Amino acid sequence: MVFKDGEDPSNNLPLTGAFLCDQTAISITSYFICVRSKLAVRSKTSRLSFIVIDFSPVLLNSVLNSCNIENIHNHLRRCMNTLDRIYDNSQLRNMKFVQLCCSHVMKAFSQILHKIQMSKEARRQLMILFAVLLNCYNIVLIIDTCIYRIIGKYCIQGEND
């Protein structure tokens, strides 16, 4: 868990990380509830903003249940509403968002691509494009990047043929 420090979205301060012996949803949810309650007691102004997790469905459901009191469907709907700019800044400041660890997501995507019959260069290009998509916060930039990478590559190949 990290704190967002100030207005700059890149200023995040770590709050806690956990290695739990019991990997059940109940124990993970209990851990997060305990952290939230201790945070509330110690600071009236600090609040949890982002939670970065690995690619674990149990962890995702535990975080959503303990921090947002929501399920995955409601969370995805809220994320879509955020992208559609339905919420104002004051509403967004009071929300908690879950982020998947980019390293874990990239590894999972790489494993999927490795199973598909394609050239090493094509896999490399897809990994680059996927990394750009993961790290981009601007939907227009994502679309422009995808169009440039995909269409631009075919135009250059067409000129060489």
Q: What is the pLDDT of residue 5?
A: 67
Residues (pLDDT < 50) of the chain are 156-161
Q: What is the pLDDT of residue 86?
A: 92
CA dihedral 93, 57, 141, 111 (to 10 degrees): 160
Distance of alpha carbon 137 from alpha carbon 53, whole angstroms: 18
Q: Which of 120, 128, 123, 119 is nearest to 146 (CA)?
A: 128
Q: What is the pLDDT of residue 158?
A: 46
Residue 100, H or E segment: strand 97-100
Q: Which of 101, 135, 103, 70 is nearest to 1 (CA)?
A: 101
pLDDT in tens, 93-129: 778 888 778 888 888 888 888 888 888 888 888 888 8
Whole-structure pTM over 0.75, yes or no?
Answer: no
